[in-house]
Amino acid sequence: MIQFAYPLALLSLVAIPILLALHLLRPRRRRVVVSTTTLWQAALREREHAHGFRRLLRNLSLVLLLAAALALGLALAGPQWPASASAAGDAVLVLDVSASMKTRSGLAMTRFDQALAEAARLIDGLPRDGRMLVMTSGRKAVLRTGFESDREPLRRALAELRPGDEAGRPREALDLALSLLRGRSQGRVYFLTDGAYESSVDPGSPQVEFRMVGGPARNAAITRFDFRQELSGEDRFQVLMTVKNYTDAPVVAPASASLDGRVLFRRSIELAPRGEQTLVLAFPGRALGQAAARIDVDDALAADNQAFAAVNAHERLRVLLLTKGNFYLESLLQALPGVELFKTASASVADIAQLARSHDVVVFDGIPAPRLPPGNFLLVNTVAPGLPFADTGRAARPDALRRGRSALMRDVDLAAVRIDEARIVVTEAPSKALQRLFWSPETDLALALLHDDVKLVYLGFDLARSNFPLQAAFPMFMSQSLEWLRPRGDGFLSAHVAAGSTRAINVPAGESSVIVRGPSGSAWTLEAKDGTAHFEGTADAGIYRYAIGDTERTFAVSLTDARESDVNGRWRPRERQEEARPAGGGRQALVPLWPWLLAAALMLLTLEWCVWTGSRNHA
Amino acid sequence: MNMPNAAAAGAGIVFDDEFLRKLERLELLARKMFRGLLRGEHATPRRGRGLEFSDFRHYRPGDDFRHIDWNVYSRLDQLFLKLHASEEDLTLHLVVDASASMRFGMPSKFDHARKLAAALACIALHNLDRVGVGAFAASLGASLPPIKARHHMSRLLEFLGDLPCAGESCFGTALREFTARTRNPGLAILISDLLGAEDVEDGIEALLYSGHEVAVIQVLAEEEIDPPLDGALRLVDAESGRELDVTVDRELRRLYRLQLDRRLQRIESFCRRRGVEYLRASTAIAFEDVVLKYLRQGAHLR
């Protein structure tokens, strides 16, 4: 927007009507008497009919005079052009590479294409003594160049950029950009974004200039896709899918989900304006393999019309056994396939939380357990404080064992089980979170608890003082308990991460690296440290594969982010500028335009003089 | 017999003797036959008093006995009347445009027109024809009733020399008025630039309806045919005084000539259709040449 240093000088434009009047009064035409003007009039009509634009040329002199007066008047008003792109000082160019930047905007263009074009303009406008740094803002902020005064490396960096399938976290990138400019008073951050996020990401700094791209767009998206096992059935699973409509019109979205090529369902979902629907559908059989969900709608953002999951991938279960020695338990855990056993005699209370995070299941065998942190636990002959059941005594030789219908008790035959002594536990109140597995008239002998962040199986007697370990029921019970305790979060079976986030891969002892292959075939070799490799190349949605030893494993990367898919829920930078920019505190470099206008006025006056002189000579 | 030199009475219209002698050898012709008032040298529809035999007819009571052919009576014993063709005078009506546009040109079209009219009048009077003159602009102005005697030539020249030249032209109105005032039709020669008003055809039609044989001499100034104008000008209409701002360039001059050609062709085409002899005369051509060369190529001068 052009600003005027001296707006009152615009009053000089009054000269234009005066010039017009003078022009009309100027006796410039020679009077010539002719016998008749009829023929001249007819000739004029014919010429004007054939060359309408020449009408303007008849008054070329006047037009030039008026244009000169306009240019002079504007020059007096001191117009200034806010040339922010050419402002001296360092600049940080932040490009939004979140999934919403893939939204179509115009013909064969995306919001990211528009952002790239704007970025190229900013680079072109970089002053000779200015420097610029290019970084991207996705789920993480990534520096793409250092501060460069040469435009070529900046352009090369731009050419390599493309948007991912990740949800954006622009605040992190903006904070990083501002920190890079700390101490540079002339520094400026250009954030090229579509604004598909909340206004809370705005750091409120006058150094940040938002360059918005894109416009309104239609979108529907899969915002959740997961699998879980039904508690009641051992071989029954559920697929969960949430679809949301981000438009103001109803949408019919044909949706489907498949698992290893097997179609789990296919149906049309009718979505109200701005509405969402969640499908939870049970299916029998194995929940193992690569799953994909899709909605077939023609909307502006295709990235969120699909989601992926790697279901029940064979991860080795890291089990920590806290025991003073239990032959049966140790032998069984070492013998169970897919279980990696770590054993220790004791651990401090402070270490338990750390151990629970670093292991899939922690087993307390006869050792007093502290208040349990979030994690998966198997309590054998011990009770922890803070649970909905408490130890109240001992029961000798409980018999007449009864069993529940839990999946954990599948094929567990208790008929021959004899127990010498058992702990008597009292439950606080009936709860759906607490499931009785088997019991005697005196007390509950085995319980399953799914409570907040704690997942727990309780076995209320000493294995060494029973024949339970000698029965076939014991490995069955333990195997199914560990399977149930397998950490999948909220009971879901699928292994998937949000696009752009880091995936930690456990690397067994003896392996130092792991190769990960992405959905497009790209490969990354990761070095393992302390038994873990961190993979960060999850920008694209799809199934990722990696091999440890002879075993190939997979995990899925999906967008499934309701906020990122809301491509119309856009934040308005103008509001921010009005609120955040301090009065007179703009750092825009205002380029004065009056010299150009003055030069233009002089040229116009010279031209007018030539036209006028030529016309007079002709006359 | 030589006519008196008009220089003495002609108010600026001077013919030299050589030109006058050439004029005396010319004779006006009319395709139509008109009833004259006095005996002259032109054939008329009237029979009887001429020298040249025309026809016989049966005697009817009341006929002049002097015209009975007695030789025929002696042979056929019947009374026949011998008829002779009558030769009477022709009335030449000179209708001169005296509107303001005729002042245009160097020499002016009006001077050219008056000299043409004077020359034609000389020829007519020399041949014992009657000559009348009418000047018009928006309406019929000064007029000279038909005169016959050659000694009236100086009066005619004086009349032409004193004609005013002003006002807008209106051919329809002026020529209808002229025909209303003219008793005997004859050869009417319209001398005008035919510019300005758009009702030229109406005026000529009025002359034709009243029984005149019409000839048109269009006088144009060389400045009208190829105007020496250029640049930003304010053109003033000589007749109406209307002003027109123009920037004249080669293209506009071309378009002007195109418009002029269209107008001339329109009038010439009209005259051809209506049997009117049409002659275009530029002021760049000496009026003597116009009379002695171009008019003689037409049908009305021999």
Whether residues A276 and A171 fall in one domain: no
**Could you say which of A443, A459, A485 is where a domain stops?**
A485
pLDDT of res. B42? 53
pLDDT value of position A66: 87
What is the per-residue pLDDT across A330-340, written as a single tens digit (0 to 9) for each?
Answer: 999 988 877 88
Q: Give every CB contact of residue A589 below 8 A, 6+ residues apart in sequence.
A: A82, A83, A84, A86, A87, A88
CATH of domain B6-33+89-292: 3.40.50.410
User: How many structural domains comprise chain A?
Assistant: 4
Domain boundary among A440, A462, A485: A485
Interface residues on A facing B, Cβ-Cβ cutoff 8 A? 28-44, 46-47, 58, 615-619
Which residue carries 């115009």 as its tokens? Answer: A106
pLDDT, tens digit, 9 for 90 and up, residues A296-346: 988 888 889 999 888 764 456 889 999 989 999 999 998 887 788 898 888
Angle at A33 between CA A32 and CA A37, to 5 degrees: 105
Smallest CA–CA distance, residue A47 to chain B, in Å, is: 7
Of B232, B243, B263, the CB nearest to A39: B263
Residue A491 lies in a domain: no
Asked whether the beta carbons of residue A35 and residue B224 sit closer than 8 angstroms, the reply is: yes
Say if residue A162 is in the same domain as residue A96.
yes
Residue A583 has pLDDT above 70, yes or no: no
* Closest CA of chain B from A34, distance in Å: 5
Tell me, yes or no, whether A303 lies in a domain: yes
* Stretch A420-440: mean pLDDT: 88
Are residues A465 and A335 both part of a single domain? yes
What is the reported pLDDT for B273?
92
CA B6, B9, B13: angle at the middle one, nearest 5?
Answer: 55
Report the relative pairing of strands A402-403 and A434-439 from DSSP bridges: antiparallel
Report the residue from B105, B221, B237 with minimal CB separation from A37.
B237
Which CATH number do you get for residue A262?
A: 2.60.40.10
Best residue of B171, B256, B258 to probe chain A, by most A CBs closer than 10 Å: B256
Phi, psi (rounded to 5 degrees) for B113? -65, -40
Cβ contact B252–A43 (<8 Å):
yes
**Strand, coil or helix: what is A253?**
strand
Q: Does residue A363 sit in the same domain as residue A448?
A: yes
Q: Tell whether B129 is within 8 A of chain A (Cβ).
A: no
Phi/psi at B104 (5° precision): -70, 150
For the stretch A542-562, pLDDT in tens is 888 887 666 677 888 888 888
Residue B259 pLDDT greater than 90, yes or no: yes
- Residue of A347, A441, A451 whose CA lies nearest to A389: A451
Residue A87: the pLDDT is: 46
Q: Is the pLDDT of residue A575 over 60?
A: no
Q: In this predicted complex, what is the ipTM?
A: 0.78
Structure tokens at A241: 């899918």
Residue B205: band (very low, low, confident or very high) from pLDDT cuts 50, 70, 90 = very high
B210 pLDDT above the threshold of 90: no
Residue A364 confidence (pLDDT): 94
Residue A580 has a pLDDT of 40
Q: Please determine, for residue A585, whether its predicted confidence score (pLDDT) is greater than 60.
A: no
B84: nearest Cα among B128, B45, B50: B50
Both tokens assigned to A586: 């703009």
Omega cis (within 30) before B107 = yes
Contacts of A55 in chain B (CB under 8 A): none
Between A106 and A469, whose confidence is greater?
Answer: A469
pLDDT tens, A386-396? 888 999 999 99
The mean-pLDDT minimum among A327-331, A365-369, A498-502, B252-256 falls in: A498-502
Q: How confident is the model at residue A579 (pLDDT cuts 50, 70, 90)?
A: very low
pLDDT digits (tens, 9 = 90+) for B22-75: 777 777 665 555 555 455 555 555 545 555 676 788 888 888 888 888 998 999
Residues A432, A326 within the same domain: yes
B226 to chain A, any CB pair closer than 8 A? The answer is: no
pLDDT recorded at residue A238: 83
Chain A residue numbers touching B109 (CB-CB < 8 A): 35
For residue A566, what pLDDT band results from cuts at 50, 70 and 90?
Answer: confident
Of A29, A36, A47, the CB nearest to B233: A29
The residue in chain B having the minimum alpha-carbon distance to the alpha carbon of residue A31 is: B234
pLDDT reported for residue A584 = 35
Task: Find the domain containing A295 and state its range.
Answer: 220-313
CB contact under 8 A, A37 and B101: no
Interchain contact B225–A (C-beta under 8 A): no
Q: Is A299 helix (H, G, I), strand (E, B) or coil?
A: coil
pLDDT in tens, B94-140: 999 999 999 888 888 999 899 889 888 888 888 778 899 999 988 88
Of A353, A358, A384, which is closest to residue A447 (Cα–Cα)?
A384
Q: Of A30, A35, A39, which has the smallest distance from its Cβ to B256's Cβ?
A: A39
B195 to A38: CB separation less than 8 angstroms, yes or no: yes
Residue at A47: amino acid letter: R
According to the model, what pLDDT value does residue B5 have? 43
The residue with greater pLDDT, B15 or B218, is: B218
A349: left (phi over 0), alpha (psi -120 to 50) or beta: alpha
In this predicted structure, what is the pLDDT of residue A289?
81
Looking at the fold, whether A33 and A113 belong to one and the same domain comes out as: no
Q: Is A499 left (phi over 0), alpha (psi -120 to 50) or beta?
A: beta
- The whole-angstrom distance between A600's CA and the closest CA on chain B is 27
Q: How far is B84 from chain A (nearest CA, A)?
A: 52
For residue A29, give the nearest of B105, B245, B252 by CB distance: B245
DSSP string, chain B: -PPPPGGGTSTT----HHHHHHHHT--B--SS----SSEEEEEEEEESSSSSEEEEEE--TTS-GGGB-HHHHHHHSS-EEEEEEEEE--EEEEEEE-SGGGG-TTTTHHHHHHHHHHHHHHHHHHTT-EEEEEEESSSEEEEEEEE--GGGHHHHHHHHHT----S---HHHHHHHHHHH-SS--EEEEEE---S-S-HHHHHHHHHHTT-EEEEEEEE-HHHHS----EEEEEEETTT--EEEEEE-HHHHHHHHHHHHHHHHHHHHHHHHTT-EEEEEETTS-HHHIIIIIITTSSSB-
Burial of A282 from C-beta contacts in 10 A (0-12 / 13-18 / 19+): exposed
What percent of chain A stands above pLDDT 70?
A: 85
State whether B235 and A58 contact (CB < 8 Å). Answer: no
In a domain, A504, yes or no: no
Does any domain span residue A442? yes
B219-242 per-position pLDDT tens digit: 999 889 989 988 888 899 988 889
- Across B262-272, b (16+ Cβ under 10 Å) vs e yields ebbeebbebbe
Same domain, A355 and A225: no
pLDDT above 70 (res A10) = yes
Residue environment code for A534-568, b if the CB has 16+ CB neighbours within 10 A, otherwise e? ebebbbbbbbbbbebeeeebbbbbbbbbbebbbbb
The three-class DSSP label of residue A324 is coil
pTM of the model: 0.42
SS3 label, residue A514:
strand
Spatial separation of the C-alpha atoms in residues A142 and A539, rounded to whole Å = 12
Instruction: Outline which parts of chain B fall under CATH 3.40.50.410.
Output: 6-33+89-292
Whether A183 is covered by a domain: the verdict is yes
Closest C-alpha to A259, from A312, A317, A314? A312
Q: Are residues A20 and A62 both part of a single domain?
A: yes
> Do both A64 and A99 map to the same domain?
no
Mean pLDDT, residues A431-440 taken together = 87
Confidence of residue A438 (pLDDT cuts 50, 70, 90): very high
Pair (A101, A244) in one structural domain = no
Is A423 among the domain residues? Answer: yes
Q: What CATH number is given to the structural domain containing A138?
A: 3.40.50.410
Q: Give chain B positions within 8 Å (CB) of A36.
A: 101, 195-196, 237-239
Same domain membership, residue A307 and residue A361: no
Name the closest residue on chain A to residue B227, using Cα atoms: A34
Using CA atoms of A40, A43, A49, A52 in order, give the dihedral in degrees to the nearest 10: -60
Type of residue at A564: E
> Does residue A356 form part of some domain?
yes
What does the pLDDT read at residue A616? 61
Residues from chain B contacting residue A62 (CB–CB below 8 Å): none
SS3 string, A531-594, reads CEEEECCCCCCEEEEEEECCEEEEEEEECCCHHHHCCCCCCCHHHHHHHHCCCCCCCCCEEECH
Q: Tell me what the mean pLDDT of segment A355-370 comes to.
A: 88
- The answer to whether B132 faces chain A, any CB pair under 8 Å, is no
B-chain CB neighbours of A33 within 8 Å are 104, 235-236, 238
pLDDT in tens, B158-204: 888 888 988 898 999 999 999 888 878 888 999 999 987 888 999 99
Same domain, A391 and A428: yes
- Here the CATH number for the domain that contains residue A395 is 3.40.50.880
Query: What is the tens place of the pLDDT at every residue in A81-127?
Result: 765 544 457 899 999 999 999 998 877 789 999 999 999 989 888 88
Residue of A nearest to B249 (CA): A618
How is the beta sheet containing A444-451 ordered, strand by strand?
Answer: A339-344, A317-323, A361-365, A375-380, A454-459, A444-451, A434-439, A402-403
